Amino acid sequence: MPISDADFVIAWKDVLEQCKVRPGEQVAILMSDDSNPQIVRCARVAVGLMGAVLTLIHLPPINGEKALSRDKSGYVGKTPLAFNTVAMKALESADMIIDTMQLLFSPEQEEILKKGTRMLLAVEPPETMMRMMPTPDFKARVRAANRFMEPARAMHVTSAAGTDFHCALGQYPVLMQYGLADEPGRWDHWPSCMIARWPDEGSSEGTIVIDEGDILLPFKTYARDRVTLTIDKGFVTRVAGGGMTAEYIRAFMDSFDDPDAYAMAHVGWGLDPRAHWTTMGLYDREAALFMDARCFEGNFLFSTGPNTEAGGSRDTPCHLDIPLRGCSLSLDGVAMTRDGKVVHG
């Protein structure tokens, strides 16, 4: 069901309070032609109610002629800020940014965060944002998982479908997403409740099996058949399967003509019982990024492509997120999930 503006403004005010927005702070809302108007409308009212100083920055979309779809995650990391010095300086001066355009994986986002600016991405449908509201309890879930992730030096993932994947950890920082930009220089995404980390370069090895019904993003489809990925020295070296799903994945990744598209990126698991594996089938594909798929409790979420968000140098615009069901994930031999159920963290 749709969300009323009144309820959404109240929710935005709650989230901004948790993000520690204070009267007099400089808050910028970054938007583009495809930003959700209800998100922008209600966020700006909430910012005003908080007594913060509001700036609206509207930038034109780019790369439409290169991207294979209208999806915000279908061609990542390339933004109009790359040549807009005025907007860049304004955003660097803000205490907090509400991003309804999506700067994720861009070097400009990293430059802004280094200035100490807080940044909250908000691009999902308002009803999804309301259902998966950030709260202190869900923040605590993610931080509890990080007590295992932060010191971990090895991850191992298996499944009945045939996954047997392992990697070393420690080179890159942990990605804790709980929906709040509540510390200087922190980026987050409302809605989110998940934890991940980028493997050490060259350490990812083994086999990942995408089973029928697992989710493929940004395609926003459920796998029709099994696909087996062979991982060697940090890269996907083989995409095998007897059906069309494997062929589709290969064709999409090959279209970028970029070897880094096949690099392993972040790996982790979902922690939100309010997120559902089934939700993607209830929406039009262009309506959402489908954070339900990334965050549903007990999934094993792996990705391919860029690592600039972690401070790495791979800035390929090709980024896949693939959440798997029924996996068992361990850190340094301690189980975090077992057969798709969270057992620690």
Q: 319 in a domain, yes or no? A: yes
Question: Which pLDDT score is estimated for 64?
Answer: 61
**Within this chain, do residues 184 and 316 fall inside the same structural domain, yes or no?**
yes
Rounded to two decimals, the pTM is 0.94
Angle at 181 between CA 281 and CA 86, to 5 degrees: 100
**Within this chain, do residues 192 and 302 fall inside the same structural domain, yes or no?**
yes
Query: Minimal CA–CA distance to 78: which of 29, 129, 32, 41?
Result: 32
Which residue numbers in the chain have pLDDT < 50?
A: none
Which residues partner with 303 through β-bridges? 321
**Within this chain, do residues 118 and 155 fall inside the same structural domain, yes or no?**
no
**Within this chain, do residues 208 and 119 fall inside the same structural domain, yes or no?**
no
Question: Which pLDDT score is estimated for 242?
Answer: 87
Question: Which pLDDT score is estimated for 122?
Answer: 98
Question: Which pLDDT score is estimated for 74?
Answer: 63
Residue 75 has φ and ψ, to the nearest 5°, of -155, 95
In this predicted model, what pLDDT tens digit does every residue of 279-297 receive, in sequence order? 999 988 888 889 999 999 9
d(CA 55, CA 97): 9
Question: Which pLDDT score is estimated for 73?
Answer: 63
Give the chain's domain count: 2
**Within this chain, do residues 11 and 61 fall inside the same structural domain, yes or no?**
yes
